[in-house]
């Protein structure tokens, strides 16, 4: 995640976009059946916790209201979700031929989805709330002059740790994951490319180098992760069923996390801190892509509108403590003022600061995945 309101130059450099205009419509000669003639059964590749309101896992009052407008109009029975474990796994799932109408990846894989012919551009005229989205994030989602990516959520990746268990002198940077003092109490994410970015930052390969490792740098990062791997209690896959319980019951003291776990810990008065590492935090933003062969073109656009509208974006931040792409949200609308301050709501360039490393496209993604397989195999 993956994956803030940024300066346009930062985003363009990160995702390699060659687009410079709105790119709002596919060919006007494309003939499609009207929405009433579409099957109306959407298959969605999504992160757990982001299922539309009204679906079986998101029915309780006080939950995420994103998607509510869609399910009220069309019902929830036509929505089927396949859950994302990490960005590489999601990309490979689509590459394998699995068909999805809507995909919710993070920006670092934009080029892969487009160049592999897995997605098609959106018609942003069909998404009324598109005009309210952060222009820098919008521009970052363009490729070849087309809008392939509708940004929605953003945030940080860093180290969360128990302040009652971890010596403050040890909690200064990403190297905490390598501290043998905490063996068996550490949990990194089962996200291969993210772990290589973490290793790169520890080794001093920051900035653009983090996602453009040379062969030697990649080998050094792999060896660092082989050294770190045995220190983990486990690699977490699900934020809510794996990571959150382990942090809260004390099984894990040090973990890779997004900022929402720090907010949840504070609500439960647990002694946890969310680190701003000496080498800098990771930054990410994610959004929606349209499956190339969808038979639910208009349904998909209405579904995404029901997520990027103002009330849904506000619900995202108030419930999960993530930033949203809606540039019209005001700090006064955020219920937790500490969250509003930490996200710097209203600042469109928050992730372009020097202490944030935006996760971006990796030209040697296949080599990174192969190196991660060697890391996991090292445990025997």
- For the stretch 45-97, pLDDT in tens is 999 999 999 999 998 888 999 999 999 999 999 999 999 988 999 999 999 99
pTM for the full model? 0.85
Q: Examine the pLDDT at 161 and tell me if it is beyond 70.
A: yes
* 102 in the same domain as 247: no
Does residue 14 form part of some domain?
A: no
Q: Does 321 or 21 have the greater pLDDT score?
A: 321
Q: How confident is the model at residue 16, as a pLDDT?
A: 30
Domain tally, the chain: 2
* 261 in the same domain as 295: no
Count CB atoms within 10 A of the CB of residue 311.
15
Give mean pLDDT, residues 183-187. 98
Does residue 38 form part of some domain?
A: yes
Range of the domain at 212: 155-282+360-377
CATH number at residue 292: 3.40.190.10
C-alpha dist (Å) from residue 170 to 68, 165, 177, 179, 234: 45, 11, 10, 8, 21
* 240 in the same domain as 220: yes
* 167 in the same domain as 139: no
Between 121-125, 157-161, 204-208, the lowest mean confidence (pLDDT) is in 204-208
* 196 in the same domain as 293: no
Does residue 180 form part of some domain?
A: yes
Q: How confident is the model at residue 29, as a pLDDT?
A: 52
Q: Show Cβ contacts of residue 121 under 8 Å, excluding neighbours closer than 6 positions.
A: 23, 25, 26, 146, 147, 148, 290
Cα separation of 177 and 272, whole Å? 16
Is residue 202 within 8 A of residue 159, CB to CB? The reply is: no
Does residue 70 form part of some domain?
A: yes
Give mean pLDDT, residues 102-116. 96
Strands (E) located in the chain:
42-46, 79-83, 102-103, 119-120, 142-143, 146-147, 150-162, 186-187, 254-258, 272-274, 281-291, 323-324, 356-358
* 275 in the same domain as 318: no
* 170 in the same domain as 56: no
Q: Which of 253, 263, 256 is nearest to 162 (CA)?
A: 253
- For the stretch 291-323, pLDDT in tens is 999 999 999 999 999 999 999 999 999 999 999
* 181 in the same domain as 235: yes
Q: How confident is the model at residue 21, as a pLDDT?
A: 38
Q: Which of 324, 28, 340, 344 is nearest to 150 (CA)?
A: 324
Is residue 106 within 8 A of residue 194, CB to CB? The reply is: no
* 29 in the same domain as 148: yes
């Amino acid at each position: 995640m993956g994956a803030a309101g940024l300066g346009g130059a930062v985003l363009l450099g990160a995702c390699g976009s060659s687009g410079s205009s709105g790119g709002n419509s596919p060919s006007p000669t494309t003939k499609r059946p009207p929405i009433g003639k579409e099957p109306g059964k959407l298959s969605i590749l999504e992160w757990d916790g982001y299922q539309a309101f009204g679906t079986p896992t998101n029915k309780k009052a006080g939950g995420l209201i994103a998607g509510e407008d869609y399910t009220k109009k069309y019902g929830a029975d036509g929505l089927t979700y396949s859950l994302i474990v990490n960005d590489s796994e999601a990309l490979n799932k689509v590459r394998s031929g699995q068909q999805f109408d809507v995909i919710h990846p993070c920006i670092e894989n934009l080029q892969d989805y487009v160049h592999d012919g897995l997605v098609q551009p959106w018609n942003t005229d069909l998404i009324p709330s598109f005009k309210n989205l952060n222009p820098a994030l919008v521009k970052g989602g363009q490729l070849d002059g087309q809008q392939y990516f509708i940004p929605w959520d953003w945030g940080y990746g860093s180290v969360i740790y128990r302040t009652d268990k971890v010596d403050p002198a040890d909690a200064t940077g990403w190297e905490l994951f390598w501290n043998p003092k905490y063996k068996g109490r550490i949990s990194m994410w089962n996200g291969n490319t993210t772990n290589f970015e973490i290793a790169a930052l520890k080794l001093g390969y920051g900035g653009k180098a983090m996602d453009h490792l040379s062969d030697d740098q990649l080998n050094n990062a792999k060896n660092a992760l082989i050294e770190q791997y045995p220190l983990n209690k486990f690699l977490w896959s699900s934020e809510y069923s794996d990571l959150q319980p382990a942090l809260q019951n004390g099984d894990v003291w040090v973990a890779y996390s997004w900022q929402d776990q720090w907010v949840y810990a504070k609500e439960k008065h647990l002694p946890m801190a969310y680190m701003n590492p000496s080498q800098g935090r990771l930054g990410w933003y994610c959004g929606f892509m349209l499956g190339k062969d969808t038979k639910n073109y208009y349904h998909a656009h209405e579904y995404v509108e029901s997520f990027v509208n103002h009330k849904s974006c506000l619900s995202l931040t108030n419930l999960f403590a993530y930033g949203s792409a809606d540039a019209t949200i005001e700090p006064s609308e955020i219920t937790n003022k500490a969250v509003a301050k930490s996200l710097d709501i209203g600042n469109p360039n928050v992730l372009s600061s020097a202490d944030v490393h935006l996760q971006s496209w990796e030209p040697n993604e296949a080599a990174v995945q192969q190196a991660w397989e060697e890391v996991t195999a090292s445990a025997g």
